[in-house]
């Protein structure tokens, strides 16, 4: 089995050392590089070709949010998991909207951080439905009406079946659960998700969930 190529980016050398230590015990993960600031990320990615970037949100020169936006705008960008000390930090929400596949808390048990890297490498978000709802609720604010109108306008690009799948993704359901609920095969669900991402110009399922929430579809 090919090892998951992992790039670590954190301005604290002790945090990087701790992450390297815990990842070193996983035989299917290879640390291909380390960085101390967001301004190093693109060059490091070009040099090391990681599958996943585990990146701190707060860094001195270029923060993880900006680095994520820059990285995910590129073709064939690696998946990004952001590191944070807060469950519902506004910057985490911004990072998810920028294309991060999820987040992990810095005090998360080592085994769960390793599992998060594996899940993201496999194309799965690392947010539980409960945490997804918490973050989306945190993102709601004074601009909710404007955001809802904009989101609903974007979703007009979807047909009825794709819209149903988008809502199911927004509710945190896995492909098998969506398939059962909508009476289709898992392969068909995957095809619908791929088309939704392409039509809406999104990076991952987390962004589908956020857009469905913004449009008010999860409340209907």
Are residues 97 and 207 in contact, defined by beta-carbon separation less than 8 angstroms? yes
pLDDT higher than threshold 60 for residue 188 = yes
Transcribe 137-152 into DSSP letters.
HHH--TTHHHHHHHHH
Q: Report d(CA 108, CA 1) in Å as an integer.
A: 26
Cα 10 → chain centroid: 18
Per-residue model confidence as pLDDT tens digits over 120-143 = 888 777 765 555 556 556 555 545
pLDDT of 92? 72
Going by their DSSP bridges, the two strands 4-9 and 29-35 should be labelled as parallel
pLDDT of 26? 86
Are residues 95 and 57 in contact, defined by beta-carbon separation less than 8 angstroms? yes
The enclosing H or E element of 213 equals helix 205-214
The mean pLDDT of 176-201, rounded to a whole number, is 93
Which of residues 214 and 80 earns the better pLDDT score? 80
Per-residue model confidence as pLDDT tens digits over 90-103 = 677 777 777 888 88
Which of residues 102 and 4 earns the better pLDDT score? 4
Q: Report d(CA 174, CA 215) in Å as an integer.
A: 21
Taking Cα atoms as reference points, which of 94, 131, 115 lies closest to residue 207?
94
The phi and psi torsions of 47 (rounded to 5 degrees) equal -85, -35
Per-residue model confidence as pLDDT tens digits over 38-63 = 999 999 999 999 999 999 988 989 98
Which of residues 194 and 88 earns the better pLDDT score? 194
């Amino acid at each position: 089995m090919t090892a998951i190529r992992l790039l670590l980016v954190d301005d604290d050398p002790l945090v990087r050392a701790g992450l390297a230590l815990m990842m070193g015990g996983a035989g299917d993960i290879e640390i291909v590089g380390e960085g101390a600031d967001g301004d190093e990320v693109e060059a490091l990615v070009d040099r090391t070709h990681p599958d996943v970037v585990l990146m701190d949100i707060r860094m001195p020169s270029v923060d993880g949010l900006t680095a994520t936006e820059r990285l995910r705008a590129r073709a064939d960008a690696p998946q990004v998991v952001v590191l944070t000390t807060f469950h519902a930090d506004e910057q985490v929400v911004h990072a998810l909207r920028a294309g991060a596949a999820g987040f992990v808390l810095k005090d998360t048990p080592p085994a769960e951080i390793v599992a998060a890297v594996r899940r993201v490498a496999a194309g799965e978000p690392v947010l539980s439905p409960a945490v997804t709802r918490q973050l989306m609720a945190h993102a709601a604010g004074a601009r909710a009406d404007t955001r809802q109108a904009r989101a609903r306008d974007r979703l007009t690009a979807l047909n009825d079946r794709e819209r149903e799948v988008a809502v199911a993704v927004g509710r945190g359901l896995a492909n098998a659960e969506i398939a059962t609920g909508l009476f289709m095969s898992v392969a068909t669900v995957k095809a619908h998700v791929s088309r939704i991402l392409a039509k809406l110009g999104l990076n991952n399922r987390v962004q589908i969930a956020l857009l469905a929430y913004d449009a008010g579809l999860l409340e209907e």
